[in-house]
Structure formats: C-alpha cells, structure tokens
Amino acid sequence: MEDTVMEKINDLKGNKGKYHKEALRAWHNIHHRVLNCPSYTNVLICEEWYTYSNFYKWFSNNYVAGWDIDKDIKGGNEYSPSNCLFVPKEVNLLFRNVDTRYDKGVVRNGEGFQAQITIDRKNEKLGTYQTIEQAHAAYEVARTERLKKLSLQYPSLSNII
C-alpha cells in the first residue's frame, strides 16, 4: 500500500485577516517540518489542517503574539486542534523531543555524563555523573523546578505544565 501525501490547500489566498501573515507562516512551517525534518518522521498533521481556512480559524482563536505552537505538551504526535496550544518558547523548549544519543538533558564529557538544561537561551551545566540515569535524574529535577517557576510566571498555563 502506498503512502498518500495530502496536499495543502490555501483557500484564503488574497485574504488579509487579522493574523494572516503569522498564521500563514506557522501553517507553512508546520507542513515543512513534517515533510522535511528527519526528527518529525512520526509526526502527523490532522486532515482538516491541510486546508488553510481551518488552520486559520484555530490560529485566530488561540494566537498569543510571540508564543510557539506546541503539539507535545498534551502528548500528541499530531498537529491538530485537540493537541496544539500556544506556549512561550521557554516552555516549548522543555517539552521538545530531541534525538540524542543519551537521555534528554544528558551529554557525555571527559569525566562521565553531564546533566544540562537550557534556561533563558543559556546552557546550564548541572553536574557530571557516573551514569546516564543519574545525569538524567538531575536534569528531570531541574526541569521540574523550571516548570514550577514558569507556571508562576504564566498562570494561564499552570494547569497544563
């Protein structure tokens, strides 16, 4: 059985709604990532979001300027109205799925396994551990603390993060 590639349909060409530029850019970016990025191999886009007007309606009702569309927080591997929400970039980064050789938040250094977390675009080293599991546990503690702080900073997200 062949995989069928759905085609995007921009049924709002020439339309200049309130968030048209932002929504169109996000719509194109989502489709580009799913079609072209190796780390998105198992990610889908719901059928209704192949039609721009459907995506635009969701986008217009949920858009927060400067925030990212996230599909991971609600546990989805599909871009869809039920899985997606807008979150600040710093929250989004804590939920992204990254292909790494080791567990999330862990890199190897000359002494063992280093735990690290990115906060305010800066990589913070959390210590070096003998095992991947120990380093990952340190990362998870730091991540949990960071999410607590962010939920205070963004009260509208406190029930989500």
Q: What is the CATH number of the domain that holds 150?
A: 3.30.730
96 pLDDT above the threshold of 80: no
What is the reported pLDDT for 1? 44
pLDDT tens per residue, range 13-58: 877 778 889 999 999 999 999 999 888 889 999 999 999 999 999 9
Q: 81: domain range?
A: 1-87
CA–CA separation, 152 vs 140, rounded Å? 19
Question: Angle 20-36/52-62 helices, nearest 10 degrees?
Answer: 120
pTM (2 d.p.): 0.81
The continuous run of DSSP H or E covering 91 comes out as helix 89-95
Task: Indicate if 78 and 14 belong to the same structural domain.
Answer: yes
- Shared-domain flag, residues 92 and 31: no
Helix (H, G, I), strand (E, B) or coil at 146: helix
**Does 65 share its domain with 92?**
no
As a residue count, the chain comes to 161
Same domain (yes/no): 72, 107: no
End position of a domain, from candidates 87, 104, 132: 87
Band of residue 99 on the pLDDT scale cut at 50, 70, 90: low
Q: Which of 37, 55, 57 is nearest to 45 (CA)?
A: 55
Among candidate residues 57, 87, 117, the one where a domain is terminated: 87
Total structural domains within the chain? 2
Within this chain, do residues 126 and 55 fall inside the same structural domain, yes or no? no
pLDDT at 125: 96
Same domain, 78 and 93: no
